[in-house]
C-alpha cells in the first residue's frame, strides 16, 4: 500500500490533465483553430496565426479559470483533510465549522471599508490585503471553534458543529447587513458570498493562490504519517517523537490561510473538504499518508469538473458552483451523520 | 582557444538579445498599424440595454444586432434574430465573445466595470453611455449612438420624441401616482425620486406619490396608506405576476385604504416603453398622460 502512492498520484494527475484539456475546449465560444497543438503553438509563438479572440478566450478566460479551479479545489480538499485529522472527525471541514463564514465576513468588511482607497492601490496590493483579511477572519474563527469544542485534546463533535452553526449565523447576519447598506458593486452580489463563483478570476489572484498553496504544502503535505500517529492518541504520538502541538499550530495557521484566500477570491464553495476525504477514506481507509497527498489532486479534479459543468450546463449564463458542490456534498454529509450517530 | 570560445559565447548572447529586441520592436509596429483599420460599415452589435437596442433598430441597423440583454423587448421580434444573453448582471464574457461582436453597447447603470474591462481587453470596441432620464438625455443618447454608427438618422428619431411630447395635455389636477414594481406578491418595490419611472410620471403631468427617498424601496402597507395615491401605476408584467387588476387589489396590503384603491384606479403599461427613455419616450409620455387623464376624469 505504502509504495503504491507514487503510482496513484501519477494516475490521478494524468486524469486531472485530461480533464483540464477537455475543459479548455468546453464553453459557449468555439475556437477557430480546432487542434490543441495549433492553439498552443499560436499562443506561444506570438505570431498572428490565431485570432485575437481565440487568444483572449484561451489566455484570459478559460486558462485562468481552469487554473483557479485546480488551485482552490486542491486547497479546500487539503484543508478539509488536515482539519479532519486534527479534530479526529470526518465532519470537521472548513465550511461546516464556520471557518469559511469567518473568512467571508472579514472579506466583506474589507471590501466595504476598502472601497474608498481601492482606486489608489495596485491590483496585487488590493488582492493581497483582501486575502490577508480573509485569513485573519478564518484564523480567529478557527481558534474560537477549537477553544470552545476541545478540552484536554478531546474534541466534542456536537459542540464543534454547533459552534460552526452559530458562527455561520452571525457571519451571515453581518454580511447581509453590509450588503444592505453598501453601494459597492462587488459586494451586492449575494450569490457570490453564498454559493461561490470562479468568474472573477485574474492571473494576479492565481499567482497569490499559487504562492500560498506552495508554502502551505511545503509544511502540510508530508504530515500524513504524523496524522496517522495522532489518530491513535496524541500522548502516544508525543512518545513516538512527533511534535504534536507544533503540527496542530501549523495546521490551524495554514488551513486558515488557504481557506481565507480561497473565500476572498471565489466566495463560499462548500463541501469540497468533505467529499474528497470521504471518497478517499472509502478506498484507502484512514491512512493519511496516502489520503493527504491524494486529496490535493482529487480536490482539483472535483472542482474543475464542477466548474466546467457550471460554465456549460445553462449557457450562456452560469450556474453558481456552490449549488453543484452542495448537491454532491449534502448527501455525503447525511451519510456520515447516519454512520456516526452512535459515536457522537 | 579558450578565449575564442568565450568571445564566441559572448557574441552569441549579444546577438540573441539584439534579435529579441528587434522582434519586440517588430511586433510593436504591427500592432500600431492594425490599430488604425478602416471603419467597417456593417457591424456585429451586442446591445445590453433595451433603449439602446431600440435606438440602433430605429436608426435602421436592426440586422446588425447579434445579441441583446433581457430588457431588449422592442422591436418585438428582436430576440428571434439576435441571441438573448439574459441579465447583464450575470452575462459571461465568453457568451459575448462567442457572438464575435465588433461593437458592444451598454449603459453605466447596467454593466459592471469588471465586465466592461474584460470586453475591452478582448479587443472589442465597447461604448458605455451615461443615461439621463429627461427628453434632452434621450436625444443625447440617440445622437451618441448615431455618431458611433456613423448614421445620420438621429434627427428623425428626435423628432419622433418631440411629436409625442406635444400630445401631452396639462391635467387639471395633478394626480398622485404610486409606481409599484412587482415580480410577485412577495417582492414589491415602490419607486422613489429620480428613477426613470419617477421622471416619466412628471413628464406625463402626474406627481410621484412618494417623495421621501430616491430609487426603489420595498413596499410596506403603511407607506402605501401614508402616500395615499390617486392612481397606481404598474408594468404589464407586474400586473400579470399578481394575477391581473383584481389580484393586485387583493394582494397589495393597504391599497384598499387609498383613493386609488377605492376608485379602482390601477393602470398598467409596458415596462420597456415606460422606463426606457429611448426613441419612444414621446409615445410613452403621451400614452401615460391619456391614461392619467381618463382616470382623473372618471371620478
% chain B with pLDDT above 90: 54
Check B86 against A57: CB less than 8 A apart.
Answer: no
Name the band, by pLDDT with cuts 50, 70 and 90, for residue B184.
low
Q: Which residues of A touch B104 (CB under 8 A)?
A: none
pLDDT above 60 for A130:
yes
Of B86, B89, B97, the CB nearest to A29: B97
The residues on A that touch B, with CB distances below 8 Å, are: 27-30, 46, 48, 52-53, 56-57, 60-62, 185, 189, 199-200, 311, 315-318
Q: Tell me whether residues B90 and A318 touch, CB distance under 8 A.
A: yes
Closest CA in chain B for residue A26: B94
Cβ B122–A53 below 8 Å, yes or no? yes
pLDDT at A185: 59
User: Would you list the DSSP string of chain B?
Assistant: -HHHHHHHHHHHHHHHHHHHHHHHHHHHHHHHHHHTPPPPSS--EEE-SHHHHHHHHHTT-GGGEEEE-TT---STTHHHHSEE---GGG--HHHHHHT--SEEEEETTTS-HHHHHHHHHTT-EEEEEPP--SHHHHHHHHHHHHHHHT-S-HHHHHHHHHHHHHTPPPPSS--EEEEEEEEETTEEEEE-BTSHHHHHHHHTT-EES--S-BSEEE--HHHHHHH--SEEEEEHHHHHHTTHHHHHHHHSTTGGGSHHHHTT-EEEE-HHHHH--STTHHHHHHHHHHHHHHHHHT-
B140 contacts B158 by C-beta, under 8 angstroms: no
Contacts of B85 in chain A (CB under 8 A): 316-317
Cα separation, A95 vs A165, whole angstroms? 10
Q: Do A317 and B95 touch (CB under 8 A)?
A: yes
The span from the CA of A247 to the CA of A237, in Å, is 11
Q: What confidence score (pLDDT) does residue B35 get?
A: 42
Minimal Cβ distance to A57: which of B89, B97, B113: B97
A191: nearest CA partner in chain B: B90
Mean of the pLDDT values across residues B19-41?
A: 42
The whole-angstrom distance between residue B63's C-alpha and the CA centroid of its chain comes to 19
Cβ-proximal residues to B38 (8 Å cutoff; 6+ apart), any chain: none
Residues of chain B contacting A62 with CB distance shorter than 8 Å: 94
In this complex, do B91 and A316 lie within 8 Å of one another by their Cβ atoms?
yes
Q: What is the distance in angstroms between the Cα of B99 and the nearest Cα belonging to chain A?
A: 8
**What integer pLDDT is reported at residue B15 of this predicted model?**
44
CATH code, B176-296: 3.40.50.1980
Q: How does pLDDT run across B40-56, given as a tens digit for each residue?
A: 468 999 999 999 999 99
**Which among B90, B118, B123 has CB closest to A52?**
B123
* Residues A220-274 pLDDT 10s: 999 999 999 998 888 889 999 999 989 999 999 999 999 999 999 998 999 999 9
Q: How far is B250 from chain A (nearest CA, A)?
A: 29
pLDDT of residue B206 exceeding 60 = yes
Yes or no, beta carbons of B94 and A62 under 8 Å apart: yes
* pLDDT at site A47: 66
Reported as a single tens digit per residue, the pLDDT across B230-240 is 999 999 988 98
Q: CATH code for B45-165?
A: 3.40.50.1980
pLDDT at B21: 43
The mean pLDDT of A103-125, rounded to a whole number, is 82
Residues of chain A with C-beta less than 8 angstroms from the C-beta of B121: 56, 60
User: Residue A280: pLDDT above 70?
Assistant: yes
* Rounded average pLDDT over A131-149: 91
Q: Kindly state the percentage of chain B with pLDDT values over 70.
A: 84
Could you tell me the domains of chain A?
Answer: 57-340 (1.10.3470.10)
Is residue B210 scored above 70 in pLDDT? yes
Question: So where are chain B's domains?
Answer: 45-165, 176-296
Banded pLDDT at A180 (limits 50, 70, 90): confident
End-to-end CA separation in angstroms for chain A: 31
Contacts of A53 in chain B (CB under 8 A): 97, 100, 122-123
Chains A, B: CB pairs < 8 Å: 60
Cross-chain residue pair B86–A185, CB shorter than 8 Å:
no
Tell me the pLDDT band of B252, cut-offs 50, 70 and 90.
Answer: confident
pLDDT band at A154 (very low <50, low <70, confident <90, very high): confident
CB–CB of B121 and A60 under 8 A?
yes
CA-nearest of B105, B193, B164 to B287 is B164
Q: Select the more confidently predicted residue: A187 or B119.
A: B119
Amino acid at each position: 500500500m505504502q509504495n503504491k502512492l507514487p503510482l496513484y498520484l501519477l494516475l490521478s494527475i494524468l486524469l486531472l490533465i485530461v480533464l483540464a484539456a477537455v475543459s479548455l475546449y468546453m464553453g459557449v465560444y468555439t475556437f477557430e483553430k480546432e487542434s490543441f497543438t495549433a492553439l498552443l503553438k499560436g499562443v506561444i509563438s506570438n505570431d498572428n496565426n490565431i485570432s485575437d479572440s481565440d487568444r483572449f478566450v484561451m489566455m484570459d478566460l478559460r486558462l485562468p479559470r481552469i487554473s483557479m479551479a485546480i488551485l482552490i479545489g486542491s486547497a479546500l480538499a487539503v484543508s478539509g483533510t488536515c482539519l479532519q485529522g486534527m479534530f479526529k472527525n470526518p465532519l470537521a471541514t472548513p465550511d461546516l465549522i464556520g471557518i469559511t463564514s469567518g473568512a467571508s465576513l472579514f472579506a466583506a468588511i474589507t471590501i466595504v471599508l476598502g472601497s474608498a482607497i481601492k482606486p489608489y492601490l495596485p491590483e496585487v496590493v488590493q488582492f493581497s490585503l483582501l486575502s490577508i483579511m480573509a485569513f485573519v477572519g478564518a484564523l480567529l474563527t478557527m481558534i474560537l471553534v477549537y477553544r470552545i469544542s476541545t478540552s484536554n485534546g478531546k474534541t466534542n463533535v456536537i459542540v464543534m458543529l454547533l459552534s460552526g452553526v452559530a458562527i455561520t449565523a452571525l457571519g451571515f447576519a453581518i454580511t447581509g447587513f453590509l450588503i444592505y447598506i453598501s453601494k459597492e458593486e462587488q459586494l451586492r452580489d449575494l450569490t457570490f458570498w453564498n454559493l461561490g463563483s470562479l468568474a472573477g478570476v485574474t492571473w494576479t489572484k492565481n499567482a497569490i493562490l499559487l504562492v500560498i498553496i506552495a508554502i502551505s504544502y511545503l509544511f502540510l503535505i508530508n504530515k500524513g504519517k504524523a496524522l496517522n500517529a495522532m489518530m491513535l492518541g496524541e500522548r502516544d504520538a508525543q512518545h513516538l517523537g512527533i511534535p504534536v502541538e507544533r503540527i496542530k499550530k501549523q495546521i490551524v495557521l495554514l488551513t486558515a490561510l488557504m481557506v481565507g484566500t480561497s473565500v476572498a477570491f471565489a466566495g463560499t464553495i462548500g463541501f469540497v473538504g468533505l467529499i474528497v476525504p470521504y471518497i478517499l477514506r472509502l478506498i484507502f481507509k484512514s491512512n493519511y499518508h496516502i489520503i493527504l497527498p491524494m486529496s490535493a489532486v482529487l480536490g482539483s479534479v472535483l472542482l474543475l469538473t464542477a466548474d466546467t459543468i457550471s460554465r456549460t450546463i445553462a449557457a450562456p449564463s452560469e450556474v453558481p458552483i456552490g449549488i453543484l458542490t452542495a448537491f454532491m456534498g449534502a448527501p455525503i454529509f447525511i451519510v456520515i451523520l447516519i454512520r456516526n450517530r452512535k459515536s457522537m | 582557444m579558450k578565449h575564442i570560445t568565450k568571445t564566441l559565447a559572448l557574441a552569441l548572447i549579444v546577438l540573441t538579445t539584439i534579435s529579441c529586441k528587434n522582434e519586440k520592436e517588430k511586433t510593436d509596429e504591427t500592432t500600431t498599424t492594425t490599430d488604425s483599420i478602416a471603419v467597417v460599415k456593417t457591424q456585429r452589435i451586442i446591445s445590453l440595454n433595451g433603449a439602446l437596442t431600440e435606438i440602433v433598430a430605429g436608426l435602421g441597423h436592426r440586422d446588425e444586432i447579434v445579441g441583446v440583454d433581457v430588457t431588449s423587448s422592442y422591436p418585438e421580434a428582436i430576440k428571434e434574430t439576435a441571441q438573448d444573453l439574459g441579465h447583464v448582471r450575470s452575462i459571461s464574457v465568453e457568451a459575448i465573445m462567442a457572438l464575435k461582436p465588433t461593437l458592444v453597447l451598454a449603459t453605466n447603470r447596467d454593466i459592471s466595470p469588471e465586465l466592461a474591462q474584460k470586453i475591452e481587453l478582448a479587443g472589442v470596441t465597447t461604448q458605455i453611455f451615461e443615461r439621463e432620464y429627461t427628453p434632452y438625455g434621450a436625444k443625447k443618447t440617440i445622437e451618441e449612438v448615431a455618431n458611433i454608427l456613423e448614421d445620420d438618422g438621429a434627427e428623425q428619431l428626435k423628432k419622433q420624441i418631440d411629436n409625442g411630447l406635444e400630445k401631452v395635455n396639462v391635467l387639471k389636477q395633478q394626480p398622485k401616482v404610486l409606481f409599484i414594481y412587482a415580480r410577485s406578491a412577495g417582492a414589491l418595490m415602490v419607486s422613489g425620486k429620480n428613477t426613470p419611472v419617477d421622471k416619466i410620471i412628471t413628464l406625463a403631468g402626474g406627481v410621484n406619490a412618494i417623495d421621501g427617498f430616491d430609487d426603489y424601496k420595498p413596499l410596506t402597507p403603511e407607506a402605501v396608506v401614508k402616500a395615499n395615491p390617486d392612481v397606481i401605476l404598474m408594468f404589464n408584467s407586474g400586473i400579470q405576476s399578481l394575477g391581473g387588476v383584481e389580484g393586485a387589489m387583493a394582494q397589495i396590503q393597504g391599497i384598499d385604504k387609498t383613493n386609488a384603491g377605492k376608485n379602482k384606479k390601477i393602470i398598467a403599461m409596458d415596462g420597456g416603453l415606460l422606463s426606457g427613455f429611448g426613441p419612444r419616450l414621446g409615445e410613452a409620455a403621451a400614452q401615460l398622460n391619456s391614461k392619467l387623464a381618463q382616470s382623473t376624469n372618471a371620478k
